[in-house]
Structure formats: C-alpha cells, structure tokens
Chains A and B, each alone.
Chain A
Amino acid sequence: MRHGNPRSTAAIGGRPIHPMLVPIPIVCFVGTWVTDVVYWRTATIMWADMSAWLLTIGLVVSILVVLAGLIDFLGDPRIRALRSAWIHGFGNAIVIVLSIVNAFVHSRDAYTSVVPTGLILSSIVVIILLVTGWNGWTMVYRHGVGVRPEDAP
C-alpha cells in the first residue's frame, strides 16, 4: 500500500515537470486574449502579429506540458481518482483544441484574423483556463499531488 501524497512520475529530482512548464502556455494564451483585445480596439496590426506568435509558442510548449501531465496522470492511480484531475485534463484538452483552431484563424490576413472569431476563441480559452487552473491548484494545494509529505525521510 502506498503512503503519503499522490506522486508525480514526470519529475526531476522530486520536482514535477508539469508545474514548471505550465505557466508558459497559460501566459501565452492569456496574452493572446490581451493582444486580441488591444488589436480589436486599435486595429494596429502589431497586436495581431503578437497574438499569432503567442498562440504558436503556447501550443509548441503545450506539447511538453501535456506529455508531463499525462505521465503524472497515468503514473499514479490516486491522481486518476481525483475529480479535479479529470476536470483539469478535459478542460485543458479543450483549451488546446480551441487554440489550434484559433492559430488557424489568426493565420488569416488582417482584421478577420482576430475579429470576431479569434477574439471569441481566445476569450473562451481564458475562461476555461480559470476553471482548469482552479482545479490544478486543488490537486496540489488540497490533495498534495506531487508534494513531498512533511514526515518523509
């Protein structure tokens, strides 16, 4: 029988990889929403270009984030037993699919690369990120996923 907190399998020296990398796509996707809003208000093309780069970088780093997350999810049944882990995983899968579609929308030229479809997609993504983020924090701060127990040797 296992003791202590649910363990992170994809870890370096006991430090889980998933939370190391996950801020990058989160910042990129929230940043996409910000630059989309600024482009919508100003029609200054630099902001739309920014959105396209942020989306692309966010998606590329997401590959590693998803891999690390999936390894953790499959590596310990106690993680799979958490409702918050399922919400976190499903929600972020939707985030990635929407962001892939959004990257194609952002590959259009000029105004309709953002308004309205791109802006709607990046807004939905930010809302989902709030839910999946909340559930991620639940996993770590309430269930101690990947956290070394205080009584560990």
Chain B
Amino acid sequence: MNALCKGLCGAVALGLTACSGPKPIDPHRQVGPHPFLPDIHQYLMPPMNVPKISPWGRAKPTVAPGLQIQALATGLKNPRSLYVLPNGDVLVAETDGPKAPVNRPKEIIMNLVEKQAHSATKAGNRILLIRMGPDGRAAAPPTVFIDHLHSPFGMVLVGSDFYVADTDAVLKFPYQTGQTSITAPGWKLTDLPGGPIDHHWTKSLTASPDGTKLYVGVGSNSNITENGLPAEFERACVWEIDRATGAHRLYATGLRNPNGLQFEPTTHVLWAVVNERDELGPDLVPDYMTSVKDGAFYGWPYSYYGQHLDPRVMPQRPDLVAKAIAPDYALSSHVAPLGMVFNTGANLPAAYRGGAFVGEHGSWDRSVLNGYKVVYIPFTDGRPSGTPQDVVTGFLENEEKVHGRPVGLALDATGGLLIADDVGNTVWRVTAASAAK
C-alpha cells in the first residue's frame, strides 16, 4: 500500500512537472510590430517565479553608455508613479492596491506570491513632493503634498486644477505654482470602477493637449474574466472624461491593463503601454505599447493581437473579435510595462530624442524572468522605429535576487529621466554622463 502511495504521488508530481509548460523563447522574437505568437499552452500549474527581494544597499541600477544614475529619494513607501510640476517640483505617489478579496482557493496562493513580489513596506497612500535643487539632487527630504488618498496613481495638472486618479475616482484639487502641500479636500470629478474586486487598480491619467479632456486607463478586473463578465463593466479600456462636466465615454476598449497614458508630442496621438493576459504560456501574450485610437477595440478578453481567440472566455463574441485590431508595437511577454514617457527633454544624449522610455516592472509567471528594466523605443514621425534598447538594467542581481522594480517614469524640468522603483523604495534619476556632477 505504501509503495502504491509513493507511486501515485510520483505520478502526480511527474504529471505536474510535465505540464509546467514549454521552454520560453528569446524575447527578441516578440518585440516590434509583428511579434512571433506561439501556440497556446494552458498550464496545470503555472510557473510562479518571483525573485527574492534584496535591498539595494550601496548598489545602483546599471545605465547604458553615456548615462549616469543617482537616487533622488530613498526610503520611500512603495513609490509607483511620478509627475513633474511646471516649477520642477517632483511628485511621487506612494501607493498600493486595495486588499484583494478571496473568491477561489487559488487566490489565497496568488495573494501570497503577489506579496513576495512586492515591498513589505505598507504604502503611504499619499503624494509626496520633492523640491529639486540646482545640482539635480533633492533640495530637501520629500514632504507630504496630498495625504489620505485611496490607492492614487495618475496625476495631471491642467491650469490651476491638479487631478489625482485614485483607484475609485478622479479628484480635483486647487493648485498654485510653488505650493508644497494641498490641504483643501479633493472635489470628485467622476467615479471610477473600484472595489470590492479591484484586480488592476492603477488608474493612469493624462490630459488632452488642449486641456479639455482627461484620459484614464482603467484596467480589467481579472486576468481573463474569471471574476465574471459583469465585474468588467466599463473596464479594460481608456475613459475620456470631459473636464467641464465629469461626463465620460469609453474612448477605446479591449485594452486589458492600460498604463502610462501619454500624448505623442509631435502627432498629439494618445499612446499607452498595456499588460496583456497571463497563463497561456511563457510567451503569450506579449505586452505592448500602442497608439490608442478613438473607438477602437483591442481584443480583450475575447482575442489578442487581432483575431487570436482566447478559449477561456465564454460566451464568445465573434462580432467583437472581427472588429479587434492589433496593437502597434509588442514589448515581449510578461514584461509588465507600467510606465511610459516620451523624451521631449534635451538632457539625455541625442540617441534618446523623440522616442519613448518604458518601465518594465518584470514578470512573475515565466520560468526565465523578463522585463525588470527601462527600455527606450526610438520613434520616427510619431511611430516606433527599430528595436527596444536597454537603458536602465541591474534591477535584478540574478535570476533569484531582485533589488528593485521600475514602475512609473517622468521627465524632470531639466530633461532627466525619473524612475519610480516600488521594490527598492527609491526614485532614480538618469542624466547624460557629462551633464551632471
């Protein structure tokens, strides 16, 4: 009987290993406008590969030749997004998602893995202000700009109105240039889809170039509708909100988790980085950056990269799948792009002019890690041209140890690239090697 037991256990273990999936391919095959898309592989047990957190200590990320990097602020509590005010003050949202509910036994395990992948520090749920000194360093330690927010992420200033996208609402605050803290209560412009389930909780925010409209990235409420289709109401899309009235419409849909909303500076077209679905294999589905077209449907949940059907969604919608368009530029699978900024500054070397920096938070469900870096995608005539180049790496010490994970990006007043690192609890500043001391 004992032997039988051992045999059965062995068989189960073997079965599980056999089903842990195909070997990951080279991510370079999945960047650009036409990524290689392998066959779907549905796991019995998906790989959960999260490196252990090890503090930076004296170490720093590695930058490409011609660049240098310094910490602008350390010891923060989950800094995830950045915004630079016109006077050069840098805003940092210290933020965390709301507590995830447990609807299935799987989620108990998922929540544990999630915890391991993120800093143990509890987020401040507030926005900090860093005043920049003339030497490109912080003139003073960060001070509290706005406190008592609810998982804030997106920030944008239009005139004297400062908008914050909490996970469940867009709030408006009065702001005067030079102000270092806002104590006036926020005025709610619009509710956003929040809890009780709030799977993708980061609400990215930007304003149209003329300032009349706000755009909010609203992520899906699940990986692939496992919380039910009703939970996806007005999610997985970009909202367009009228600043005057607060009325909203869905600007583009089928975008699983759109972040880093930005207007391309030469064409004034809205762009986003999007986190695609998990658990179809190590190389599906590639995350991407794309121009966001008014009225377009980008596939989620029914399909990806155009008409590639996802068998996990029922009922299916052939009418919507037929309409689905492919995104512009793949970034490879599971890199988790969460931040994007177009380089309009003059600080960084000429090779980095006009294109976009993307912050890749890094994979958790791929046997070979992917992402964990900041890349640069060159643009020509408002479109990506060429392959992504590594700009900031070294967030991973090796496959088992991680010092930090890049999230939100911003350009400071002098054109330096700022990176929010929510595991290293640091804001990094990248400048041209010759420009700064």
Interface residues of A (CB under 8 A from B): 43-46, 48-49, 52-53, 56, 70, 73-74, 89-90, 93, 96-97, 100-101, 103-105, 107-113, 115
Contact B225 A52 (CB under 8 A): no
Is residue B322 within 8 Å, beta carbon to beta carbon, of the partner chain? Answer: no
B16: chain A residues within 8 A (beta carbon): 104
Contacts of A49 in B (CB 8 A): 103-104
A89 to B4, CA, bound (A): 11
Which B residue sits closest to A43, measured CB to CB?
B314
A45 in contact with B42 (CB, 8 Å): no
Given A45-B225, A101-B15, residue A108 in contact with residue B279 (CB < 8 A): yes
Q: Which residues of A contact B312 (CB under 8 A)?
A: 108-113
Most buried by A among B1, B12, B104, B313: B104
**11 extra A-B contacts, CB within 8 A, seeds A101-B12, A112-B312:** A45-B225, A45-B228, A52-B105, A89-B1, A105-B44, A107-B45, A108-B43, A109-B223, A110-B314, A111-B313, A113-B226
* Majority secondary structure, B binding face: loop
The distance from the CB of B101 to the nearest CB of chain A, in whole angstroms, is 11
Q: What 1/0 flags go to B199-230 for Cβ under 8 Å of A?
A: 00000000000000000000000111111100
Chain A residues lying within 8 Å of B12, measured Cβ to Cβ, are: 97, 100-101
Residues of B within 8 A of A100 (CB): 12
A93 touching B8 in the complex, CB below 8 Å, given contacts A52-B106, A110-B314, A112-B311: yes
Which 4 pairs between the two chains have the least Cβ-Cβ distance? A109-B226, A111-B314, A45-B228, A110-B312
Q: Which of B9-58 contact A (CB under 8 A)?
A: 11-12, 15-16, 19, 42-45
Task: Please indicate the chain A residues that have their CB under 8 angstroms from the CB of B105 in the complex.
Answer: 52-53, 56, 103, 107
Contact A104 B44 (CB under 8 A): yes
Contacts of B5 on A, CB cut-off 8 Å? 93
- Asked if B65 is an interface residue, CB under 8 A from chain A, the answer is no
**What A residues does B134 contact at CB under 8 A?**
none
B159 within 8 A of A: no
What is the CA–CA distance of A89 and B42 in the complex, to the nearest angstrom?
32
Inter-chain contact A97/B224, CB cutoff 8 Å: no
B196 in the interface (beta carbon within 8 A) = no
Q: CB distance B104 to A74 under 8 Å?
A: no
- List 19 A-B pairs, Cβ < 8 Å: A44-B228, A46-B228, A70-B1, A73-B1, A74-B1, A97-B11, A97-B12, A101-B12, A101-B15, A101-B44, A104-B44, A105-B44, A107-B45, A109-B223, A109-B312, A110-B225, A110-B312, A112-B311, A113-B312
Give the chain B neighbours of A97 by CB distance below 8 A.
8, 11-12
B196 smallest CB distance to A (angstroms): 15
Question: Which of A44, A73, A107 is most buried by chain B, counting CB atoms within 10 A of its CB?
Answer: A107
Q: How does the 8 Å CB contact mask read for B291-334 relative to A, with 1 for contact and 0 for none? A: 00000000000000000000111110000000000000000000
Q: How far is the CA of A88 from the CA of B8 in the complex (A)?
A: 16
Q: Which residues of A contact B19 (CB under 8 A)?
A: 104
Residues of B within 8 A of A96 (CB): 8
- Chain B residues with Cβ below 8 Å from A53 are 104-105
CB-CB nearest in chain A for B311? A112
Residue of B with least CB distance to A70? B1
In the complex, how many angstroms separate the beta carbon of A103 from the nearest chain B beta carbon?
A: 8
Given contacts A109-B312, A111-B311, A111-B314, contact A45 B227 (CB under 8 A): yes
Pairwise interchain contact B42-A112, C-beta atoms closer than 8 A? yes
Among B11, B19, B105, B312: residue with most chain A CB under 10 A: B105
Residues of B within 8 A of A44 (CB): 228
Among A53, A103, A111, A113, the one with the most B-chain Cβ atoms within 10 Å of its Cβ is A111
Residues of chain A with a CB closer than 8 A to B314's CB: 43, 110-111, 115
Question: With A and B bound together, what is the CA distance between A103 and B104 in angstroms?
Answer: 11
Shortest CB distance B3–A (Å): 12
Q: How far is the CB of B236 from chain A (nearest CB, A)?
A: 14
A3 to B312 alpha-carbon distance, docked (Å): 59
| Least CB distance, B270 to chain A, in whole angstroms | 29
> In the complex, A93 Cα to B279 Cα: how many Å?
29
Judging by beta carbons under 8 Å apart, are A43 and B315 in contact?
yes
Chain A residues within an 8 Å CB radius of B279: 108-109
Residue of A nearest to B315 (CB): A43
Given A45-B228, A52-B105, verify A108-B42 contact (CB < 8 Å): yes
Chain B residues whose C-beta falls within 8 Å of the C-beta of A70 in the assembled complex: 1
CA separation between A115 and B311, bound complex, in Å?
10
- Other-chain contact of A110, B4, B45, B226 (Cβ < 8 Å): B226
Contacts of B103 in A (CB 8 A): 49
Residues of A contacting B104 with CB < 8 Å?
Answer: 49, 52-53, 107
* CB-based nearest B residue for A90: B4
Tell me the bound Cα distance from A100 to B9 in angstroms: 10
Note all chain B residues with C-beta closer than 8 A to A105.
44
Rounded to whole Å, the gap between the CB of B148 and the closest CB of chain A is 34
**Binary interface profile of B, 82-113, with partner A (CB < 8 Å = 1, else 0)?**
00000000000000000000011110000000
A119 to chain B, nearest CB (A): 13
Alpha-carbon distance A53/B16, docked complex (angstroms): 20
Contact B4 A93 (CB under 8 A): yes
| Separation of A59 and B5 alpha carbons in the complex (Å) | 15
